[in-house]
Amino acid sequence: MYLVTAGDPSNVRPGRFNSVPTGYGNVQTVHEEEWVIRWMGIFLCTLALNAQDVHLQVITTTDVHGAIQPQDSFTLQPANQGWARLATLIRGLRADNPNTVLVDCGDSTQGEPINYVWSQLNSKLPEPSTAIMNSLGYNAMVVGGQELGRGIKMMRALEDQAQFPWLAANVVFAADGHRVFTPYVKVAMAGVQVAILGLAAVPPRPGGADGLVIQDPVAAAKALIPLLRGQEKADMVIVALHGGLGKEPCADLQNQALCLAAQVPGIDLILAGRSRQLVSTEANGVPILQAGSKGQALGVGDFLFRRGPRGSWALQSHSVRILPAGAETAADPGVLELTAPLRAATETYLDTFATTLGTDLDGRWSRMEDTALMHLLHTVARQASRAQITALASPGARIFIPRGATSVRQFYALCPDDERIERITVSGRQLKAYLEHAAAFYNYSHNPELFAKGAGPGDFDTLEGCAYTLDISRPAGMRVVDLKVQGQPVKEDQSFTLGLLSSRMAGAGGYLQAMGWSGQPGFQSAAPFRNFLLEYVLSRPNLALEAEDNWHIVPSLDRERVLAQQP
């Protein structure tokens, strides 16, 4: 395991005692009362040293997704986000308290165009997020789903660049059960022994990418935390989790923070991630921090430790908070200088001419009717996956690419994540169940609140390669009517190939569970879906698109209501 020491081991300035004069000559007489006072002083000083206090600070980041500058990479509008502002906050906090542990909870090295340009065009330069974390002196990073999705070769290349350990106690090789990454790291801060246990709460996929298996994170914590407390003699145990809180403890494999707090004793702090929430809370006496996403904030914990007579440290008190990176937070010059060459190359790439559009690509209505935008994405997905039917979610209601000359930047915004396209085989019954799950995105059509509570913007999939109607005047589970493929009604025992993105295959949105599908995909693309999209667009100097109009919602929806309420 890694062993890192930081700070002054004693964290206290040694006391200075005046010795009692001895010998002959000009020696002053020390009265009995003075002896008592001096010995009491020595005794009290000794107690003070033994009862030494240490204020420990823990800072967490998560899901930064490669964002560096405080602006949106696609609209170029200002945004309160990015490593540059986080770095300013981190340096300021550490200046106030050098006894600082700095941990990232994953999904921080991928997601922005700069990460793609680095991996595909400029990989001789340092990976930007890793270089920034190195410069800030991170103690550890938990492996996230996006890191795991890059494959073992790329992960090892990134891990080799990092001057801090990549942690994941529950990621193992399927072939032999050996751990892929370091399970935990110990950090000494002013004499306090801090153990950081890393856990990846991402959906298990049998065999997995490169033969990796994700084991139960709670079971891993139950096995390792007694070891950290006992054999490793940790005074503080931090669980760094690439996973969120969850609505109920232990109900969701991707959100296990509450489950850890409820079921695993011996945890002093849980650092969460993945679900992109801002969280500063406590569960079963365990503080929990989650710092949102895209570098919008830091999670900060303050802990007071006191050393007892036998040298052991006891946690006396704690507090946790979220520190946002606001408009008043200056961008760190060091981060900007460190990433300048790669940022310049990225801007040149994004400004490259793509095609001349003959139609607007409008995302506003893509959750209520077929659109040219979704037809473009489905066309590319069907070609890339060679599937009969494809399932995709709208890239968002804010997407609008006007007709005329376009750039790579505009199409990159349609697929900002490095997701692969995959192909599975489903039955007619499963296909209908998939659509029923999508239809649950809507409440009844007469309900004042049109969209289901808790529905996320990426939770509603549309299908192409089939025709169907969603009747949202009917109860959930009975809304799919007139489902046809090639003009013929779909039968329950028919088989179809379905193309969908890797996030759905990993369990996002609950679609596979809803239709009762399990197994391995028949195909997974080596390149991200975005690459297929850009190849399709860039190969066509002129591109005119029309909606296929293969699906409808009834009764008809008020467009303004959809626009105002959709998540």
Mode of pairing for the β-strands spanning 269-272 and 286-291: parallel
Three-state SS letters, 358-408: CCCEECCCCCCCCCHHHHHHHHHHHHHHCCCEEEEECCCCCCEECCEEEEH
Top-tier CATH class for 351-565:
alpha beta
Return per-residue pLDDT of the chain as tens, 567 residues: 444 433 333 332 233 222 223 332 333 333 455 544 555 554 444 444 445 899 999 999 999 999 999 999 999 999 999 999 999 999 999 999 999 999 999 999 988 999 999 988 888 889 999 999 999 999 999 999 888 877 888 899 999 999 999 999 999 998 899 999 999 999 999 999 999 999 998 765 444 456 888 999 999 999 999 999 999 999 999 999 999 987 777 877 778 999 999 999 999 999 999 888 999 999 999 999 999 999 999 999 999 999 988 788 999 999 999 999 999 999 999 999 999 999 999 999 999 999 999 999 999 999 999 999 999 999 999 999 999 999 999 999 999 999 999 999 999 999 988 889 999 999 999 999 999 999 999 999 999 999 999 888 899 999 999 999 999 999 999 999 999 999 999 999 999 999 999 989 988 899 999 999 998 899 999 889 999 999 999 999 999 999 999 999 999 988 889 999 999
| 512 contact partners, CB below 8 Å, separation of at least 6 | 504, 505, 518
Contact 74, 413 (CB under 8 A): yes
Contact 106, 141 (CB under 8 A): yes
Mode of pairing for the β-strands spanning 286-291 and 278-283: antiparallel
Smallest CA-to-CA distance from 56 within 274, 302, 316, 404 is with: 302
Q: How far apart are CA 317 and CA 192, in angstroms?
A: 15
Angle (CA) 522 526 527, round 5°: 130
Contact 374, 366 (CB under 8 A): yes
Q: So where are the chain's domains?
A: 49-63+84-345, 351-565
Residue 31 corresponds to which amino acid?
H
Residue 64, classified by CB atoms within 10 Å of its CB into exposed (0-12), middle (13-18) or buried (19+), is buried
Using the structure block, give the residue that is written with the tokens 């240490």. Answer: 54
Same fold for the domain at 49-63+84-345 and the one at 351-565? Answer: no
The b-or-e profile of 284-294 (16+ CB within 10 A means b, else e) is eebbbbbbbbb
Angle of helix 128-136 versus helix 333-350 axis, rounded to 10: 180
Residues linked to residue 481 through DSSP beta bridges, in sequence order: 469
For 429, which DSSP code?
H
Please tell me the CATH code under which domain 49-63+84-345 is placed.
Answer: 3.60.21.10
Residue-level length of the chain: 567
Distances (CA, A) of 515 to 317, 422, 453, 476, 509: 48, 17, 21, 14, 12
Q: Is 155 helix (H, G, I), strand (E, B) or coil?
A: helix
